[in-house]
Structure 1
């Protein structure tokens, strides 16, 4: 009986203590204990630690990895991208394919110099050619828009390869002084034999190369334009010496 009485008294004591604690918490005198859901579970094993880290930071890790991959690709592309010393615009009313313009670039490279100092001579031929009677008006307009953007502001593209019809077109869109310096230099047999391809044969006859006029144009104050102009003029002179 004594044991039962002691247990009852102990339960009554605990009940009074809990009641007093509850009153204190309600009045703000005592801070309420955290809820079970608010109690932090500290991971102990390596797997638990990894699972907790991944749960907390998986989106951060995913974003960092994605950015790292993109930067690596961009850096690789920049490092391996060909740096051209000079640009040549190929504009004719007979469409040329990449294999043919690549051969033209190789031909011009024989007379060009390493302007950017990277140890190699690389010339880019920008193809603006199209077949005038193909009926593909959209493609023709695309090429002409591309051509006009080059004329408007590309100081690295001072050399133009044209046929008779395309040269007249360019002369017609310029002011009274003309877009080029003098008449185009006609290519000789050396050019046609070098640029001949197995798949497409010779380029059309009557092609000529011209240098853009720089003075009193929008290109006059462009960076390094004098250097490019000197190089372009020198290339034409070297080709002229072959004829």
Structure 2
């Protein structure tokens, strides 16, 4: 693949020279994994074409889902961020990257989402708008969703199955982990962490993902349990 960005750089410069053009800003759509192959482009972008924030899409941090998306590892993101921050600082601009992530994509296990949530917390990202994967026509990911197979590789009876997160509860969990900081999501996340044997991630330490439940939360949970009645079946003895 030709990763020479010189034609694009020249196009940007010609556009800036047009009469009546004061500023051309790019907010998203940058293939950061290709841009890192030509730092000149990142310098041009950071110097002239970012209005404070630039959205890019690493999509995930873990190899499982990334391999199904044909996306690079986080090394490309880290390199792009390093260059972007350096060139922004050189021209005295305070500019930030806003990474975009997706949950419940084929190939994503619960552990992958926990690791992504830990990465977000470590880097102090608190996502407001998040998106669960939704199968759409003419997409490889949709084929994976419905067949559990990877069309990017040769498919046979021995081919590896693709894990697909399905069901309302699991999809809600994956989306909740993207918003680990929202108190409304903590009960669901705690329940999942305990089931995964990751109870050590619940607490007040810096390496914890969510805080432990408060006394009031525990009281409310007990009240709800007391108010829950088991469903009657033909095997349930009736009180006399």
Q: TM-score, normalised by structure 2?
A: 0.25
Select the structure that is richer in helix: 1
Q: TM-score, normalised by structure 1?
A: 0.24
Bigger RCO of structures 1 and 2 (CA < 8 A, at least 6 apart): 1
Task: Look at both structures and tell me which one has the larger radius of gyration over its CA atoms.
Answer: 1
